[in-house]
Structure 1
Amino acid sequence: MAAVGQVIRSEWTKIRSVRSTVWTLGLAVLVTVGLGVLICTLISRDIEVRPDRDRPPFDATNLSFAGMGLGQLAMIVFGVLVVSNEYSTGMIRASLAAVPQRGTFLFCKLTVATALVFAVGLVTSFATFFAGQAALGDLRAHLGEPGVLRAVIGGALYMTLIALFSMAVATMLRSPMLSLGILMPFFFLISNVLSNVSATRRIGHYLPDQAGQKITQVIPRTTDDVPYGPWGGLGILIGWTVVALAGGYLTLRRKDA
């Protein structure tokens, strides 16, 4: 246990000493909160000018997280950099020489990074909710309403799992350019295309981001044909992450640094 504690402290030092990883987390907060407030403000003004009978039902809580789709970009970059920086600089050889137990090394690295992302994600999730609801004014949702607290905490869980999934992919690919070159199109192009084309919509429902974002919904969409609920969607994202982590561990164990 003492060895694990030393490795965890070492990994914490690595993360906080690299400016790029710190900046990406800060960017995730700013983008998620800022874009969420902007969209809530625009939607609020649009709805207020309509007669009551023409006002469509909408999910005020989920609307606060409208910026999360772009904010997750920073979380993906953070996850990739945490792992692949050591490969690109050659530091991985020294790290594995100091910690020959590769499972312990990977566990400590992912534990530290995941804990940090969850803390940042939790602050971001609550901040974007309260800021977004303030922008909605009388249309706001309240934290004590059914499903709202689950959605807010779920936002933090979603961002954490996306970052952890990215770490696992980077562990398998061991290259920042290759990892980002696959993850970015996957989340921001392929996922959207598959989810919006009728022939592939069912496949899109089971992609990690499309499924995971269900946890931030409180009011189901009237046109939603997804066959699972918020927790089912989060479970699908967890499944993707577990598979990626297994692949990352096997790659680290079998390949030389």
Structure 2
Amino acid sequence: MAFSAVLKSEWTKIRTVASTSWTLTTALLVTVAMGAGLCAVVNATFNDLPKEQQFTFDATQMSFSGMLFGQVGILIFGAMVVGSEYSTGMIRTSLAAVPRRANLLLGKVSVATGLTLVVGLATGFVSFFLGQALLGDHGIGLGGENVLRAVIGVGLYMALLALFAIGASMMLRNTAASIAILITFIVVLPIVLSVVDATRKIAYYLPNQAGSAIMQTVSASPSSSDVPYGPWGGLGIMALWALAAVIGGYLVLKKRDA
């Protein structure tokens, strides 16, 4: 099968499964809604914040504060893109139609991450403009220093997160297990490690901690100076995680039967 046909097939699978479409839509809506709500609260209580927090306030990142919840939708989407085929047995049909497993995985990854990138960019721009409007005098324009990079970074972050989820789910081949492990690793573990000084530096190198640096325009505090990378360096670390997950997924797909 030609690769263009593989892409068309994968697009059809994603488009015709309602659950995958809804998870992406939910990720966008939750991120925008949560970010807007928090921006409104901050605007109303800004003068009550400590002076240090006012000085280091990152208006741009505040628009994306809903990403903590929205990224769960991206993880579920990535898990379902793979898991739905294994749970229904459709993977056997897919492998029969596309015997070259590298092509099958590449097609799946290309379509899913491309779609997530589009949704992520939409999420970034809508979250930003709505959030800044609600921040009022405490907001910032798109032309501010590093602002456009941060807004576009939302799309890049979400695309890499989906890529990581697809690779990990290909290794696990079970939707429920993939979702549980991904949420624990991406959402819960960094919070737990960040609480303890001895493990905080480990958390810096986890996918979401590193990748989310691309959405920051202001250092959170003087203590953040021990973070060993900048915005693009952090995104690079996340990209390595995603690449490792996809390679692992390919090795499992290549060696195991459907």
Bin of the TM-score, shorter chain as denominator length: over 0.9
Could you report, residue by residue, the CA deviation over 1:80-137 in whole angstroms, capped at 9, with x for unpaired residues? 0001100010010011001101000110111011111000110011000000000000
Matches within 5 A, 1:107-186: 107-186=106-185
Matched, 1:104 2:97: no
Alpha-carbon distance between aligned partners in 2 of 1:52 and 1:109, rounded to the nearest angstrom: 49
Alpha-carbon distance between aligned partners in 1 of 2:142 and 2:162, rounded to the nearest angstrom: 26
Alpha-carbon distance between aligned partners in 2 of 1:4 and 1:55, rounded to the nearest angstrom: 52
Matched, 1:189 2:183: no
Alpha-carbon distance between aligned partners in 2 of 1:190 and 1:55, rounded to the nearest angstrom: 29
Counting matched residue pairs gives 256
Percent identical pairs in the alignment equals 51
**TM-score normalised by structure 2 residue count:** 0.96
Q: CA deviation at 1:187?
A: 1.9
Instruction: Please name the residue that 1:248 is paired with.
Output: 249
Alpha-carbon distance between aligned partners in 1 of 2:85 and 2:53, rounded to the nearest angstrom: 56
Could you report, residue by residue, the CA deviation over 1:38-69 in whole angstroms, capped at 9, with x for unpaired residues? 00110111114679899443000011110011
Alpha-carbon distance between aligned partners in 2 of 1:84 and 1:77, rounded to the nearest angstrom: 10
SS of the residue 2:99 aligns to: coil
Alpha-carbon distance between aligned partners in 2 of 1:36 and 1:86, rounded to the nearest angstrom: 34
Where structure 1 has 5 or more consecutive residues not aligned to the other structure, the ranges are none
Could you report, residue by residue, the CA deviation over 1:136-170 in whole angstroms, capped at 9, with x for unpaired residues? 00111111111000000011100111111000000
Alpha-carbon distance between aligned partners in 2 of 1:100 and 1:41, rounded to the nearest angstrom: 53
Say if 1:110 and 1:52 are closer, same or farther in 2 by CA, change over 3 A. Answer: closer
Say if 1:210 and 1:52 are closer, same or farther in 2 by CA, change over 3 A. Answer: closer
Alpha-carbon distance between aligned partners in 2 of 1:170 and 1:51, rounded to the nearest angstrom: 43
Alpha-carbon distance between aligned partners in 2 of 1:202 and 1:53, rounded to the nearest angstrom: 23
Q: CA deviation at 1:252?
A: 0.5
Where structure 2 has 5 or more consecutive residues not aligned to the other structure, the ranges are none
Alpha-carbon distance between aligned partners in 2 of 1:243 and 1:50, rounded to the nearest angstrom: 41
Instruction: Please name the residue that 1:24 is paired with.
Output: 23
Instruction: Please name the residue that 1:6 is paired with.
Output: 5
Say if 1:52 and 1:72 are closer, same or farther in 2 by CA, change over 3 A. Answer: closer
Matches within 5 A, 1:68-79: 68-79=67-78
Instruction: Please name the residue that 1:15 is paired with.
Output: 14
Alpha-carbon distance between aligned partners in 2 of 1:51 and 1:22, rounded to the nearest angstrom: 42
SS of the residue 1:220 aligns to: coil
Alpha-carbon distance between aligned partners in 2 of 1:72 and 1:172, rounded to the nearest angstrom: 20
SS of the residue 1:256 aligns to: coil
